[in-house]
Amino acid sequence: QKEVEQDPGPLSVPEGAIVSLNCTYSNSAFQYFMWYRQYSRKGPELLMYTYSSGNKEDGRFTAQVDKSSKYISLFIRDSQPSDSATYLCAMSGSGGGADGLTFGKGTHLIIQP
């Protein structure tokens, strides 16, 4: 069993839809949870950063962490074609996110105009 599981997709939705992406993990030591967006032939860029359980909202993006279920989610409201990319969940332990990150495989998201 991999430490972080993420459905690679592709996930195709129409413009304006609400998108739900998620990851499960097995290592209970993970405390810091991140979502990165990666466009083709580019490096990942940080979208959301959360500590422990709870919700965090930033514009059209909402990140949720449920440590009891070892399950994290990213919701995108009013999805746009420019949101088409690969979304990577990432996690780290007690180093405050300064540790090296453990990534999921990434979900390839396609927003249809």
Partner 1 sequence: EAGVAQSPRYKIIEKRQSVAFWCNPISGHATLYWYQQILGQGPKLLIQFQNNGVVDDSQLPKDRFSAERLKGVDSTLKIQPAKLEDSAVYLCASRGGRAQTNEQFFGPGTRLTVL
For strands 61-66 and 71-76, give the pairing: antiparallel
> Considering only residues 62-101, where is the footprint of partner 1 by CB under 8 A?
88, 90, 96-101
- Please state the closest distance from residue 70 (CB atom) to partner 1, in A: 17
What are the angstrom distances between the C-alpha of 77 and each of 5, 10, 52, 102? 23, 18, 23, 26
- Please state the closest distance from residue 66 (CB atom) to partner 1, in A: 21
Question: Which chain residues interact with partner 1 by CB under 8 A?
Answer: 4, 6, 8, 32, 41-46, 49, 88, 90, 96-106
